[in-house]
Every structure is written in structure tokens, then in C-alpha cells.
Structure 1
Amino acid sequence: MANQPVVFLHGLWLHASSWGSWVEFFRNEGYDPIAPNWPGEHDTVADTRSHPDEVADVGIDEVTAHFARIIETLPIPPVLIGHSFGGLITEKLLGQGYGTVGVAIDPAQIKGVLPLPLAQLRSGLPALRNPANISRAISLTEKEFRYGFANQLDDEESAELFERWTIPSTVRPLFQAAGANFSLHSQAAVDTANEDRGPLLLISGTADHTVPDVTTDATLRQYRKSNAVTELIKFHGRGHSLTIDHGWRDVASEVLAWLGRQGLDD
């Protein structure tokens, strides 16, 4: 029998290879993990930075369909683990019947989530300040990365992570999420009432500026109409960088333990 596949889905401004430590960790635990690129993303950080236009103007539905096609090639339904907008895509895919379980780490806000804290607005400002950016690829400055991702790290680690993992990113999904509650057919909508989906774990970093804790709390409440398993784990004092910074293993170990409680450690 094939090992349990795991699909890691990254979010905006990080390259797929930022999951490298997680991929190795899960492979050593007997899983069969992959971390696919987003549409237009090249295989390396450097190449993606050199071709920013190729990642531009891609929306939530296109990214979801892209990962759905990858999932359909796997021998058995995978575990889905996403961070930030990858977390939102994880929720969408799980609601659509893809995957056996899902983990959404600091997931971008879905339709129906109302809180919009000042820190979240400031984190999204590099993209949202100009409506014309919706069709562009935008890069963060080191200062913007420090605020949105690495606010709980020292300057040295923040700078190292910025240089190692950040890429230009499509920002259409950010505009779609920001306007979700004003759109009848928003691409940020998730089937939160699905009774037949697999278990879902939400993870929040309580000091996150990009997806503040209150936003993840509100996401959990969106699932109240479903009897499917939906749980929330909080990492106190952690920011949006919690999947790539020096404490990543604490988060990965907690995810692994939760998956085991869903009967996936066999």
C-alpha cells in the first residue's frame, strides 16, 4: 500500500521550497510529501524572482483548480497542509471533497469572516494600496516582510528568511479575500457546511499580523453548521513566519500528533 501522500500549499510571497524542512520531517515519519509550485512559479527562488510577470494575475479559483489537478494524480487522497493563502486553498479543496484531512495554518480570511484588524490592513497595504496591483506581481520589501511575517523574530533571522524564501507574488487573491463579503459569488467562499468532508485543523499564531488570531477565531465560527471535525490550536507569541522560522518544528510536531489522532499514523 502506498504511503499516505501529503500536499503542502504555500501562500503569498513565499516559495514552495520554503516547505523543505516540513517535507523532510514528514518523509522521515513515513509520509509521502510534496510541495508543488503555484501557477507560474519557477522551481527556484532566484528563477521566480527573475520572472515576476509569470506569477501575476492568478486568482483563488485558478490556484485551487491547479492543486486539484495535482491531487487527482495521486494514488490515494492526500493530507492537505496549507499556510496563509495556502490555508484558504486547503479549506476550499477539503470542502470540495479533495483530500482526506486538512490543516490550515494562519489561513487567509474566507468569505463570512468579518474582523479586519488594523495589523491585517497594514500587512496587506503593499498590495492593496493601488487597485491596479490586482493584475500585477508584487514583491515585499524587507521592512514589509518584517512587519507582516517576522514581527516576533530578531532582525537577523528576519533578514535571513526574507533573503532565502521571499518571491514576487500574484496579489489578485488578496483583493478577492478583501472584497469577499461584498461579492455574491466570491472566490474566497468555502463550503463550511459540508458534513462529509474530512477533519480540519486550524492553527493560529496569536501574534500574527497578517492573519491575526481574531481572524482565525472567526474562521472557526464559520464551521459551526457542520458536524465534521473542526479544531483550533493556538501557538502563543508566534507570528506569520511560524512555518519557516526557528520554531517550525514545534508546529510540525503538533500537526503530526493531530494527524495521528485522526487515525493517520498507521
Structure 2
Amino acid sequence: MPAPKTPIVFVHGLWMHSDSWTPWLEYFDRAGFAPIAPGWPGDGPDPASTRAHPQALRNRGIAEVTDHYAKYIADLPAPPIVIGHSFGGLIAQRLLAEGSAIGCVAIAPAQFKGVYILPPAQLRSAGPILAQPWLRSKTWSHTADSYHRFFANAVPRAESDQLFAQYVIPAPVKPLFQAALANVSPKTEAAVDVRAPRGPLLLIAGTADRTVPAAIVQSEYKLQQRNSGVTELRVLEGRGHSMAADHGWHTVADLALEFLTAQKLAPLE
């Protein structure tokens, strides 16, 4: 009996449904992996059903979502690779540090404890939400305008609007507050054990990202370099936060596959 294919578990971030990973699933299936993109707890099976029931996502925090994926991974036939975007990238790093994954690719990952830099672009993006503490246990969703301004700013407005209509969902606000307060909360959930034994990690940033600016990812990279495991960083010129879903997603996926192949985590041809 042949060995099971290596699973890849894709973890989406705030405001994007797991359907946004569909091209990646097809890409990595062709590469010989067993890819899967389970949603967060509270997500509906598709964007429309998730939009119709936003209350199911209220008050979902980083630890709960991480545990949700860890339990899912425990039932897989083989240890997986995790690929995450935005807060999904933070959760993917937590899963790697906890031993739930053998390798990780984190695309524009949200900041965690120990990252002190606060770029103006990120302040403009998250500030209006964080200025409303009563939203902490609720959900919030972009408008088409705010999505293009802060999330898909590096692509034409027509493409941004298409992504918005196709994939955008409400998201719990709690993770934003957890990340914002990580450095003043002793028991914060927005933390990654950067010294835990782990497999290879690739961090990917975009120079035009206004939601998780490249400076944030570069700071995470410096923290992760404390680990004895392989840690690499790629910075993509002119790419925004939508880089995993917009027309340039293939470039990001190629980087991920090249890294996994170099680390001998890809299937043998």
C-alpha cells in the first residue's frame, strides 16, 4: 500500500472565506499533496451562508481557532504542512510550534507578542476598528471601499470588487484586539513559542501591504530566527494583503512550493 500523501492544511485569515484557497488546492493537488482548507469555527460552507449568519463567528479568539485546527489535524492520516494567510499565518505558526505540523508557510502573518513596530499603514487600517472596544466580542466586515483601500489596494478596483463579492465574509474582532494588546497581556493568545523545536518556516511579505505591512513580517522573521529550525523570508515588491487570492496568487504559491521542495517536504517525482 502506498504511503499517504502529505496533507497541506490551509488556514484563512480575517474577512476571507476558505473558498479563497480553491486555486491553491488545485495547484498543490497537482503537485502531489493532499490539500484541504477547513474553515474557522463558525464559518458557513460558503461565503453567502457565512454572511447570512455572522453571529456564529462572534467572540472567536486565536486560541479557540488554533485548537479547532489542531483537532482537525489530529485526525489526518499523516502529519501536515500548514499554509496560512494573515491571522491564519499567525495560527499556522502556532500550530508549527505546538508540533501539529511538519512545516509552515505564513503569508503576511498577523503580528504576535514581541513585535513592537506599528507602521502607520497598519494603524490606519486597524485603528478605526480598535477605536470601538464595544466591537471586541462581535463581528465586523469590510465594505467594498475599505476592502480596496486596505486589503486589495495593490490590484485594480474592478478586481478588488470581484474578490470582495466572491470571498469576503464578516470576521470576529476579538483576534484584532488580542494582537493589538499582545505586548501588555501576560497571558495573551497572540503569541508564538519561537524557541520550540519545529520544522521549516517560510514567511512571505508584500511591500504594498497595508493590513500587515512588510515591517511586521520582517520583525516576526527576526524573532523566528532565534529558532534552530530553518527560517526564511521572501518580500514581494508591490504586493498587497490580497496576494494569496488576487491574480498574482500563483507567484506566491510557486514560492511556497519551491520552499517545501528545498526542505524535502514535497513529494518525490
Quick check: 6-15 or 141-150, which moved more? Answer: 141-150
C-alpha distance in 2 between matches for 1:126 and 1:21: 32
Aligned to 1:70: 72
**Per-residue displacement from partner, 1:51-104 (whole Å, max 9, x unpaired)?**
000011100000000000000000111010000000000011111111110010
- TM-aligned CA deviation for residue 225 of structure 1: 2.2
SS at match of 1:242: helix
User: 2:91 corresponds to which residue?
Assistant: 89
Q: Percent identity?
A: 48
Q: In the alignment, is the contact (CA less than 8 A) between 1:10 and 1:86 conserved in 2?
A: yes
Aligned length: 265
Do the aligned residues in 2 keep the contact of 1:8 with 1:81 (CA within 8 Å)? Answer: yes
Q: What is the rounded CA distance, in whole Å, between the counterparts of 1:100 and 1:224 in structure 2? A: 17
Q: Equivalents in 1 of 2:132, 2:182: separation in Å?
A: 18
Secondary structure of 2:175's partner?
helix
CA contact (8 A) 1:10 1:85 kept: yes
1:215 is displaced (CA, Å) by 0.6
1:255 is aligned to: 256
In 1, Cα distance between equivalents of 2:180 and 2:189: 11
| Residues 216-250 of structure 1 deviation map (CA, whole Å, 9 limit, x = unaligned) | 11001112322111110111110000000000001
The SS at the match of 1:260 is helix
* Correspondence for 1:114: 116
Matches within 5 A, 1:111-190: 111-190=113-192
CA contact (8 A) 1:126 1:140 kept: no
Secondary structure at the aligned position of 2:23 is classed as helix
Rounded to whole Å, the distance in 1 between the matches of 2:135 and 2:188 is: 19
Asked if the contact 1:205–1:238 (Cα under 8 Å) also holds between the matched residues in 2, the reply is yes
- Alpha-carbon distance between aligned partners in 2 of 1:184 and 1:7, rounded to the nearest angstrom: 30
Whole-Å separation in 1 of the counterparts to 2:189 and 2:133:
18
2:242 is paired with a residue whose SS is: coil
Partner of 1:46: 48
Q: Which amino acid aligns with 2:42?
A: G
Q: Which residue does the alignment assign to 2:222?
A: 221
Large movers: runs of 4+ above 2 Å: none
Partner Cα distance (1:3, 1:126) in 2: 44
**Aligned residue number for residue 199 of structure 2:** 198
Distance 1:242 1:197 in 2: 26
Distance in 2 (alpha carbons) for counterparts of 1:232 and 1:205: 11
Aligned to 2:241: 240
What's the counterpart of residue 27 of structure 2? 25
CA shift for structure 1 position 183: 0.7
Gaps of 5+ in 2: none
- Output the aligned Cα RMSD: 0.8
Which residue of structure 2 aligns with residue 207 of structure 1? 208
Deviation at 1:147, TM superposition (A): 1.6
8 Å CA contact 1:199–1:229 kept in 2: the answer is yes
Q: Distance in 1 between the 2:30 and 2:168 partners?
A: 26
Report the TM-score, using the length of structure 1 for normalisation: 0.98
**Out of 12, 33, 36, which is 1:34 matched to?**
36
Unaligned segments of structure 1, at least 5 residues: none
Q: CA deviation at 1:212?
A: 0.4
- Distance in 2 (CA, whole Å) between partners of 1:177 and 1:126 is 15
Return the TM-score normalized by structure 2.
0.97
| Separation of aligned partners in 2, 1:20 and 1:131 | 34
Cα distance, 1:126 vs structure 2:
4.5
Deviation at 1:210, TM superposition (A): 0.4
**Distance in 2 between residues matched to 1:255 and 1:175, nearest whole Å:** 29
Give how far 1:129 is off. 2.3
CA distance in 2, matches of 1:125, 1:20: 31
Q: Secondary structure at the match of 2:146?
A: helix
**In 2: Cα distance, 1:89 partner to 1:217 partner:** 17
Distance 2:114 2:214 in 1: 16
The amino acid across from 1:248 in the alignment is: W
Query: Residue by residue, what CA displacement relative to the aligned partner does 1:149-174 show, whole Å, maximum 9, x if unpaired?
Result: 11111111011111111000101001
